[in-house]
Structure 1
Amino acid sequence: MKTVCIDGEPQYRDIVLRDVARPLGAAGHQFDWFEESFADVEAAIARAAGYDALYVIGDQGPVPSGLLRANPALKLVSFVGTGARRFVAMDEAAECGVTVTNVPDFASQSVAEHALALAFAVARRIPEGDNLVREGHWQKNQGLKLAGRRLGVVGAGAIGSRMIGLGNGIGMDVVYWSRTVDATRDERLGARRVELDELFATSDVVSLHVTHTAETDGLVSRSLLNSMGDKAILVNTARAEIVDQLALAELLERGAIFGAGIDVFIEEPPRSDSVPPAGSNVVLSAHVGFHTDEADDVFGLAGQNILAFAAGTPTNVIN
């Protein structure tokens, strides 16, 4: 089986060659690495010619529309991470009979910890304080103590479950919402399931941990955002598309909530005029919730998906 990575980046080269290229080679398969860009559509289509599988890292943007149609030999797209639907045209994959795989759970603890870090940073106004001290000021702005306050976790999958555990660990009153109802989940997680409107209206910190699908697009609506209290914090380490971005921007501009911690954006990197201004108690990070030593495993796991597909036992198929 011949696999190509078109959107390789120098920072990932050594780990991909070690954890992907070597195991594939040992099993009699070919893996070719290129540090190119999907932005040059014609070049990307030409580069994929003759390969059976496409290994997609995703940092260079989505797989170009038409690439799968133009390369009928392709039978597999192995995406490095959870958000394959954001980077692969699923309708085109279905039309072309291409299997799409992802890595559904590789850095859940890291993302949950980052969500909690953002909540703390907003609650204690840490970036704001850092800037003030560096500018020679000694202004002590009031923060919020999280222990004893309510944490509302939207989504109770691998990451959401860990976020619930972290919230319990620092003494927060944790509630959650999930699309599915499981009578045993409350006891297992140590939290109570509530409806989404109650969660937003009663939580001091709302942390989002659902995948972006057609069902969750715009899930966090204007009405839900407007129901949050003026001391509430919104944290998003999931996907920007699940939130009504215009409503959130207006909410932050009015100072209607205490603040927000945001790790994900519609356009990445975001335009400078599309992010909340400094001083609005919004803490931003560059989609790095997963980016710890734990995250290195994702490259090898995506490679294992290729091995499984080649063996006729596909794993982590999302289509």
Structure 2
Amino acid sequence: MKIVCIDGESQYAEIVRRDVIEPLRAAGHQLDWFEERFADEEATIARAQGYDAVYIIADQGPLPQKFLSSVPSLKLVSFVGTGAHRFVDVAEAESLGITVTNVPDFASRSVAEHAIALVFAVARRVTEGDRIVRAGEWAKHQGLKLRGRTLGVVGTGAIGREVIQMGAALGMDVVYWNRTVRPEIEAELPGRRVELDELFRVSDVVSLHLTHTPETEGLVSAELLGSLKPSAILVNTARAEILDHEALFALLRENRLFGAGLDVFETEPPALDQLPVDQPNLVLTPHVGFHTDEADEVFAIAGRNIVAFAEGNPTNVVRSADL
């Protein structure tokens, strides 16, 4: 098979060469790597002509709208990550006979640990303290102890469940909410299910773990954020689109929240003039929740999906009926 990666990024090039391009070559396939952007629709479509598959890193945004119907040779889209439906029209792909694969549950523990790291960073004012010491100053600001406080987890997917377990292990009282009730999963979780509005009212820490869909866009609204305790912390390692950032930033500026930690942004990298970077109670990280050596296996798994498809045994297929 001839495979193309159009949206490659230099930071991933060595990993992909070692874990994807070389194994594919050994199996008789060819992956061509380009560091371009999907924003230029015509150039993206032209680049893909003649290829059997496209390997999508997904840091550059979704495939152009006419891409699938404009590349007649395309048989497979191998998506590096879980949320393929955010970057590929799965239903259209099915109608065109194109298979879409993803990498389910590749970094749940890594992202969950990062969410907890952000909680600690905000609660114990780690970045603020770091700046104080580096400036040659000496000031001790009061932090929050987590044990005995209430952790609210929004979303009980693989990552959310990891956060629930870790929060309980820290001695926190856990409440959670999910768009759908899943009794078989929830029966094994510590804590209790509550409605979303109650979760925001009672939680000392809220951690967001929802995928971005039309139903979840803007779900964490100004009204919900306004119901948080003034001593509360909010952390988002999920998707920026589910959260009303302007409302969050207003609460931070008015000291109506203890703090927040963000690892995801609507535009990445974000424009600094759109962030309250002077707020000491806001901790920011550059979408690195899944960046661990273990989670980097995602690139290799997406490559193995290509080999399995070529051998007639497709794995990790994404189907529109399951979305």
**How many angstroms apart in 1 are the aligned matches of 2:222 and 2:39?**
34
Counterpart residue type for residue 204 of structure 1 = D
**How many angstroms apart in 1 are the aligned matches of 2:212 and 2:77?**
19
Q: Deviations over 1:75-118 (max 9, x none)?
A: 22111112333333556545644332221211111100100010
| 1:220 equivalenced with 2:223 (yes/no) | no
Once the 2 structures are TM-superposed, how far is the Cα of residue 161 of structure 1 from its aligned partner?
0.9
Question: Which residue number corresponds to residue 51 of structure 1?
Answer: 51
SS at match of 2:235: strand
Counterpart residue type for residue 86 of structure 1 = R
Residues 214 and 317 from structure 1, CA distance in 2 versus in 1: closer, same or farther, beyond 3 angstroms?
farther
Deviates more, 1:245-254 or 1:131-140: 245-254
Q: Deviations over 1:193-241 (max 9, x none)?
A: 1111111110000001111112211221222111110000000000011
Question: Which residue number corresponds to residue 79 of structure 2?
Answer: 79
Deviates more, 1:151-160 or 1:35-44: 35-44
Matches within 5 A, 1:143-158: 143-158=143-158
Question: Which residue number corresponds to residue 167 of structure 2?
Answer: 167
Unaligned runs of 5+ in 1: none
**C-alpha RMSD of matched pairs (Å):** 2.0
Once the 2 structures are TM-superposed, how far is the Cα of residue 249 of structure 1 from its aligned partner?
2.5
Counterpart residue type for residue 50 of structure 2 = G
Counterpart residue type for residue 231 of structure 1 = S
Residues 164 and 174, structure 1, Cα contact 8 Å, conserved in 2: yes
Residues 253 and 44 from structure 1, CA distance in 2 versus in 1: closer, same or farther, beyond 3 angstroms?
same
Residues 253 and 280, structure 1, Cα contact 8 Å, conserved in 2: no
SS at match of 1:43: helix
| 1:137 equivalenced with 2:137 (yes/no) | yes
Given the two structures, how large is their TM-score scaled by the length of structure 2? 0.91
Question: Which residue number corresponds to residue 102 of structure 1?
Answer: 102
**How many angstroms apart in 2 are the aligned matches of 1:187 and 1:154?**
17
Counterpart residue type for residue 198 of structure 2 = E
What's the % identity of the aligned pairs?
Answer: 66
Residues 252 and 280, structure 1, Cα contact 8 Å, conserved in 2: no
Counterpart residue type for residue 156 of structure 2 = A
Matches within 5 A, 1:3-42: 3-42=3-42
Residues 86 and 278 from structure 1, CA distance in 2 versus in 1: closer, same or farther, beyond 3 angstroms?
farther
**How many angstroms apart in 1 are the aligned matches of 2:192 and 2:136?**
46
Counterpart residue type for residue 65 of structure 1 = Q
Question: Which residue number corresponds to residue 302 of structure 1?
Answer: 302
Given the two structures, how large is their TM-score scaled by the length of structure 1? 0.92
**How many angstroms apart in 2 are the aligned matches of 1:316 and 1:200?**
35
Once the 2 structures are TM-superposed, how far is the Cα of residue 278 of structure 1 from its aligned partner?
1.7
Once the 2 structures are TM-superposed, how far is the Cα of residue 250 of structure 1 from its aligned partner?
2.3
Q: Deviations over 1:8-54 (max 9, x none)?
A: 23332332233222333333332222233334443332221100110
Residues 102 and 316, structure 1, Cα contact 8 Å, conserved in 2: yes
Once the 2 structures are TM-superposed, how far is the Cα of residue 275 of structure 1 from its aligned partner?
1.1
**How many angstroms apart in 1 are the aligned matches of 2:7 and 2:125?**
37
Question: Which residue number corresponds to residue 67 of structure 2?
Answer: 67
**How many angstroms apart in 1 are the aligned matches of 2:269 and 2:89?**
21
Counterpart residue type for residue 165 of structure 2 = G
Residues 72 and 96, structure 1, Cα contact 8 Å, conserved in 2: no
SS at match of 1:199: helix
Counterpart residue type for residue 121 of structure 2 = A
Residues 86 and 213, structure 2, Cα contact 8 Å, conserved in 1: no
**How many angstroms apart in 2 are the aligned matches of 1:157 and 1:317?**
18
Residues 236 and 263, structure 2, Cα contact 8 Å, conserved in 1: yes
Residues 183 and 47 from structure 1, CA distance in 2 versus in 1: closer, same or farther, beyond 3 angstroms?
closer
Unaligned runs of 5+ in 2: none
Counterpart residue type for residue 79 of structure 2 = F
Residues 137 and 8 from structure 1, CA distance in 2 versus in 1: closer, same or farther, beyond 3 angstroms?
same
Residues 153 and 160, structure 2, Cα contact 8 Å, conserved in 1: yes
SS at match of 2:18: helix
Deviates more, 1:182-191 or 1:243-252: 182-191
**How many angstroms apart in 1 are the aligned matches of 2:262 and 2:104?**
21
Matches within 5 A, 1:286-301: 286-301=286-301
**How many angstroms apart in 1 are the aligned matches of 2:151 and 2:96?**
44
Residues 127 and 25 from structure 1, CA distance in 2 versus in 1: closer, same or farther, beyond 3 angstroms?
same
Question: Which residue number corresponds to residue 194 of structure 1?
Answer: 194
**How many angstroms apart in 1 are the aligned matches of 2:72 and 2:62?**
19
Residues 128 and 280, structure 2, Cα contact 8 Å, conserved in 1: no
**How many angstroms apart in 2 are the aligned matches of 1:61 and 1:193?**
34
